[in-house]
A and B are shown apart, each in its own frame.
Chain A
Amino acid sequence: MRAQLTWRTLLSLVLGLLLLSPAVEAAVAMCRCSNSYTQLLGQLRSQANLMKDTSCLLEPFIRLQGLDTPVLRESCMKCSRAFPSEDTLRGLSRHGFLQTVSATLNGILHRLAALQQHLLKGKNMPEMQVATRNIQGVRNNIYCMSELLTNCSETPEPLLPGPRATLMPSTLNFFKSKLEGCQFLCGYHRFMGSVGQVFGEWGNSLSRNRRHSPRQALHKGARRARPSRRVKRPVPRGQLFR
């Protein structure tokens, strides 16, 4: 009898943990996905436009780290180039675009966690928490949009090498870490601006936008013809997060 109770307790515990896990979260998100392309696109546009605002994260970080001087601010605004440029994003198919954005956001989440630990020593920065939740929200919507596109027989393209490798901040000295963090957040806001821009170019109807843009077709054709040009892409995927 007691053994039965123990097993039941363990089972409940495991189920509870499963329910809390990200996988289950994704599954739940999938179940809750909207079938409305317009609604999803509208949400993604709104989220991207919201997250491109530097007052949401960069400015609080600058103030907290004492970087709010003309010289240091100048250095901060040299945004990190570890993010795909707007042209690059525009050149991707819609599937490719969504997967690239999702992967980049995943890298951003890791980087934010590292910043929190290294530069803030775990102390609470509310704006960081909000940004993290927003990024997760965008990723959920991207997931849903990908599902919607897949159901509409848009063939998913293989994801280009993601931006997740070697993305930890420099540990050489604290000052450099501050500047890098600052430039990273600048790049993050700019990236979200680009994402919003590309989402803005998506048509409001799912059927009329099977192809991304003439530029994308040109880009694809060029890529097939000259694979070596991948090296010359504006933001090589392997260099997304240094």
Chain B
Amino acid sequence: MKSTVDDARFPELSFSSNWSPWEEVHAHTPEQNTDLIFPRDKLVEEGSNVTFCYNSGINQNISCYLDRELIHGEQLYLNIFTFKLNNVPFIREGGTNIYCAVNYTIKDGTVLFVSKVLEEPKDFSCETQDFKTLSCSWDPGVDTGLFFDGQPSQHYTLFESFSGKKKFCEHNNQCNWEISRDLQETYNFTLTAENYLRKRSVNTIFNLTHRVHPKAPDSIHFNNVGATNATMTWKMPALGNYSTLLCQIELHDKENMRQEHNVSIKVNGEFLFSELMPDTAYMVCIRCANAKHVWKWSKWVTRTLITAEAAPSKALDVWRKVKPEKGLHHVTLFWKPLSKFHANGKILFYNIVAKDLDKKSELKLQSIPAPANGTELTLDQGSYQIQVTANNSVGASPASEIVISGDSGNEEVEEQKINGTKDGFLISWKPLSEDRAGYVVDWCEHQRNLHCELQWKNVGPNTTSTVISSDAFRPGIRYNFRIYELSTEKIAYLVENKIGYTQELAPSDSPQVKAINVTSHSFTLSWKDYDTEAQRGFIQGYRVCLKSKATQCHLDSVAELLPDNSTCCEHAINNPKQKIFLVENLQPESFYEFFVSSFTSAGKSPIGTFTKVTTQDEHSHMLMHIILPMVLCVLLIAVMCYWKSQWVKEKCYPDIPDPYKSSILSLIKSKESPHLRIMNVKDCTPDTIEVVNKSEGTKTQFIGIEKPLTESEFPKPANLYLLPAQDFCVPGPCISFVNHTYSESACDSGSCAHTPVPDTAPPCHLELLASPDNLLNTLEKTHTDSLGEIPAGKISLNYVSQLASPMSGDKDSLLIHSPVPVLCSEYKMQMAVPSCLDSPVLSENGSLSSMTLLGQDKHYH
């Protein structure tokens, strides 16, 4: 036994007495049949040595365990054992189980609660944020609490020696201490951690004003925010006027800290920012600490400050492309957007003013809404000054000027090849004049695209070379650089035009070649349309590869091994403008294959499909020289014959219509009229025609008009006296049998006693026909139409019989009945008359035309 003095108020007085001497006490010896282990539920600190005593009673073969581990004890008596455990470890909060068992039957056990060693609190400190409360905090270390009533978690006590006050802390890592109203200046705190086994203390002494940890500033506002300045105000909470505060202000833009300021305040703070950028977002950070003794800074507070816009500060970088067309200038203007630094706000639109320098009054104004980077103007070929400004909500940028002269776009300079590198193109030029404002080099970024993304670079007036580099440059793309010299009047003059590749590549395709003029010993290759501009390098020439059965190549060619291991004879053409090649010294009737590839400095175009050519037979051209004219002559004769065949036929052997083959026949048959039939000339007894020479004006009389004639009444043979027609074309006495149907002249003359068919009788209309064929056609057509459109019963087309010439017809009758010699007689035409005309036809002058009408058994004379 020993005694201990322990008072936190007087830690220096803490001490323990010595142990009392041992005293021997006689206790009852446990009964032999009672299991007993001692001590029960013992609490020790980690690392302690513990001895257990066990009375096994009457049990033999007892095994005792420390958790899983079998432990061996010292046998004091027959049934009494002691187990000494040294340096016991902490295993779990639920304690270490010590138990004894016989054949898995537990006889007795106990729990040894091993606590972790209580640690001294670390980082013990106190501070105030409001001069009302001191907040003390510390790191408690390990929790020594167990699942045991005797050892809960350690608790903490705070003792202040000057005031003599003590406080039990609710939490194990922090404790609040109320500051007295008299604002005690110095504090001496003792923090004591305590559990059942141990007590640990730490101490701190400090001046209150040295432990001020201000709260973060609040009520932060920006006032009078302009384009370049702004005022920030803020408040410091809860500190009152007890101390002066130092506040740190930082101004950041997106990238870096731009400004840093220190401001001393009491409660309210104010600071004016200047030299700010217009329309820029800044991050403003502020924190404060006690000015006299910086214990801890408050937390940073961050706010965003956005300055107001200002007018753009820089003129646009403008360039143009001029395309003259039909007396006009199509001007495409390009400009680069202003950087945020120069835009000073959101660009809303661009103003373009074109001033006619010749007339000096005409202005053309365009407003292009942002975000455009170009526009198109159409101007006449006068000189124009174009001004471009960028505008935001505050104002316009300085004007950027460019002048389009009347010659703009018409300049022509020779292209020069340049070699580029991966880093770009080194371009140099010679100045045009001494008086210049500078140079502009422009080019298209994506040369092959239809849309030229025009790029340009401004170069100073004293510079005659520059390096053009761009990430957009690609190998195998031809770039065209135009160098302009800008005069002091802002007029651009084309100085030089350069083309080049950053890296030449082999051509991507080969020319499309045609073989022409194939002879027995040669043929010509032609590739007129090959676009060398679109190739991936400067075309330096062509290679003609010729495959043949010949094993050796001609002297002007070399053998070339092809990818398929075949060989060809390769002819080199080193002139890129040559697009024709004569392949000669060939064998007649031989088979050749050729392929033409182009090449650049990087290599040849890929080998494609060979074109096959077979040379001609050696004599074939001779045959052609003979046979072709002959064939042409024959053809010419044939064509001539065919062309004149109708004429020959008409003159030599005109067609005699065969009634039996007439389409009328089918019509007659279709009507199945017993009265209708074909009259055969041979079967008829010709009428007797008396030819009388009679003076002009004699009229032809029509007998029995409008009186139907019966068979008996019909004279057999009847004589028709036909007087010369009024329009008789032969002045002399002439025997003429005129069929007016075929006599256009008669009708045309107007004196013809032909049928005056009124126009108002469509079904009866019959046109005069110029030829027998046409007549037949018309008949057929009429027949067809009749079948299709007119009822069969109403069709009545009569066929007028052929009247034979006296010279070739029935000689007997003619000779017999001719009262006078026939001076002239000729074959006249035939006619077809529709049945509707089966009424007497009277000419205008009352003369009668002679005709024989058939059908419906009516014969008129």
Contact = CB atoms under 8 A, between A and B. Distances in A.
A175 B94 CA distance: 10
B829 interface: no
Contacts of B106: 71-72, 75, 179
Contacts of B111: 173-175, 178
Nearest to B41: A174
A74 B67 contact: no
Contacts of A67: 97
B41 to A, nearest CB: 5
Contacts of A64: 92, 94
A5 B811 CA distance: 154
A66 B94 contact: yes
Nearest to B111: A174
Interface in B76-133: 91-97, 99, 101, 104-106, 108-111
B152 interface: yes
Nearest to A121: B147
B148 A174 contact: yes
Interface in A36-82: 64-67, 69-72, 74-75
Contacts of A72: 97, 99, 106
Interface string A154-192: 000000000000000000011110110000000000000
Nearest to A172: B40
Given A72-B99, A75-B106, A173-B40, A66 B92 contact: yes
Contact of B40 (A70, A75, A174): A174
B2 interface: no
B12 interface: no
B65 interface: yes
Interface in A189-206: none
A121 to B, nearest CB: 5
Nearest to B100: A71
A217 interface: no
A90 B106 CA distance: 34
Nearest to B110: A175
A119 B41 contact: no
Contact of A121 (B101, B108, B148): B148
B149 interface: yes
Main SS at interface, chain B: loop
Interface in B142-156: 145-149, 152
A178 B111 CA distance: 9
Interface in B13-45: 40-41
Contacts of A178: 94, 97, 111
Contact of B94 (A65, A71, A179): A65
A50 to B, nearest CB: 26
Most buried by B among A65, A66, A71, A119: A71
Given A174-B41, A175-B40, A175-B97, A71 B65 contact: yes
B95 A174 contact: yes
Count class of interface residues, chain B: 20 to 34
A26 interface: no
B755 to A, nearest CB: 112
Interface string A70-108: 111011000000000000000000000000000000000
A123 B147 CA distance: 8
A120 interface: yes
Contacts of A69: 65, 67-68, 97
A80 to B, nearest CB: 15
Nearest to B96: A66
B93 A123 contact: yes
A66 to B, nearest CB: 5
Nearest to B68: A69
Given A66-B91, A175-B111, A179-B106, A119 B147 contact: yes
B147 A175 contact: no
A72 B109 CA distance: 10
A179 to B, nearest CB: 7
A120 B147 contact: yes
A66 B67 contact: yes
Interface in B53-81: 65, 67-68
Nearest to B98: A175
Contacts of A65: 94, 97
A78 to B, nearest CB: 10
B95 A66 contact: yes
A72 B146 CA distance: 21
Contacts of B145: 121
Nearest to B97: A66
A173 B98 CA distance: 13
Contacts of B105: 75
Contacts of A66: 67, 91-92, 94-97
Contacts of A71: 65, 99, 101, 104, 106
A174 B99 CA distance: 12
A121 B152 contact: yes
Interface in A111-151: 119-121, 123
A119 B149 CA distance: 9
A123 B153 CA distance: 11
Given A66-B67, A71-B65, A178-B111, A119 B94 contact: yes
Contacts of A74: 104
Interface string B532-549: 000000000000000000
Most buried by A among B91, B92, B97, B146: B97
A64 B146 CA distance: 12
A137 B148 CA distance: 32
Contacts of A120: 94, 147
Most buried by B among A67, A174, A178: A174
Nearest to A65: B94
A174 B65 CA distance: 16
A135 B523 CA distance: 105
A70 B104 CA distance: 8
A79 B730 CA distance: 156
Contacts of B65: 69, 71
Contacts of B148: 121, 174
Nearest to B69: A69
Most buried by B among A70, A120, A175: A175
A23 to B, nearest CB: 34
Contacts of A174: 40-41, 95, 110-111, 148
A74 B106 CA distance: 9
A74 B95 CA distance: 19
Contacts of B67: 66, 69
Contacts of B93: 123
Nearest to A75: B106
A178 B146 CA distance: 15
A146 to B, nearest CB: 38
A68 to B, nearest CB: 8
Nearest to B106: A75
Nearest to A177: B111
Contacts of B99: 71-72, 175
A123 B143 CA distance: 13
B96 to A, nearest CB: 7
Contacts of B91: 66
A75 B101 CA distance: 10
A67 B146 CA distance: 16
Nearest to B42: A174
A178 B147 CA distance: 11
B224 to A, nearest CB: 47
A119 B92 CA distance: 13
A175 B92 contact: no
A75 B105 CA distance: 7
Given A69-B67, A174-B110, A175-B99, 6 more contacts: A66-B94, A119-B94, A119-B147, A121-B148, A175-B41, A175-B110
11 contacts: A67-B97, A70-B104, A120-B147, A121-B147, A174-B40, A175-B99, A175-B108, A175-B109, A175-B111, A179-B106, A179-B109
Q: Report the 9 A-B pairs with minimum CB-CB distance, sorted nearest first.
A: A175-B109, A174-B111, A65-B94, A174-B41, A173-B40, A121-B147, A69-B68, A74-B104, A71-B101
Interface of A: 64-67, 69-72, 74-75, 119-121, 123, 173-176, 178-179
